[in-house]
Amino acid sequence: MGDAHLALAGQTALVTGGARRVGAEIVRHLHAAGAKVAIHCHRSQAEAAALAGELNAARAGSALVCQADVLQVAALRNLVADVAARAGGLSILVNNASTFYPTPLATVTGAQWTDLMGTNLAAPLFLAQAAAAELKRARGLIVNIADIHGLRPLPGYLVYSTAKAALIHLTRGLARELAPEVRVNAIAPGPVLWPEAELDAAQKQEIISRTLLQRAGSPADVARAVVFFAANAPFVTGQILSVDGGRSQRW
């Protein structure tokens, strides 16, 4: 990880949704920078255990798994307390867990609203609340994983886009609430990993054609930005970093 190598030694990072996809890449990069990592999962326990095993083989006692449904607000305080007790504290919280699916206006339901707002907005809020004391003690950091569609809505994904827009606003609000001890920033990724509901080649090419760098990014691009905030940005808070290859410059 270049200059960030072992820059996070002695710190503990909790990454929600850390077992798979972008979350797992964030976990690997924070671990490579020296942090102890708490890999949160809900249903992906096998993947989380495999990732923790891989990281513990590289550095003994450096990774642990924690399980919780982030929609259950009461469970979030227990999640933070469990991580802090097992790891000896908490200094970095990465709110990465998310749900993503279309909600056209004509068919959106109350259950979809509750689910999408719960994972993308309520969970980051109540995790920040639960972790505030530990993070203040550590003079730590929160990184929220937002989306460029929190800056401009994605057609057909009204609730998801609204939740991510609110997460961006929450980031700025938390930066004020938790200052001066805790820094709070967000990353707004663009096309770094295609949705699991696969897009066809034409859809992918249409997205890439409206990206200044004319290519898709990767989960590592987001993970490197998280490490930047954690290791190299001690005077940065309340900021939203678009990691999108210039996609947000060509709507």
Measured in whole angstroms, the distance separating CA 154 from the mean position of its chain's CA atoms is 19
> How much is the CA Rg of the chain, to the nearest whole Å?
17
- Listed in order, strand segments (DSSP E) in the chain are 12-15, 36-41, 63-67, 92-95, 141-145, 183-189, 240-243
- Give the count of beta carbons closer than 10 Å to the beta carbon of residue 100: 17
Let me know: does 243 contact 190? Beta carbons within 8 Å.
yes
Instruction: Determine if residue 124 is left, alpha or beta; phi over 0 gives left, psi from -120 to 50 gives alpha, anything else beta.
Output: alpha
- Give the count of beta carbons closer than 10 Å to the beta carbon of residue 185: 25
Our CA dihedral for 93, 72, 240, 30, rounded to 10 degrees, sits at 30
- Give the count of beta carbons closer than 10 Å to the beta carbon of residue 239: 15
Catalytic residues: 160
Cis amide linkage into residue 153, ω under 30° from 0: no
Measured in whole angstroms, the distance separating CA 156 from the mean position of its chain's CA atoms is 23
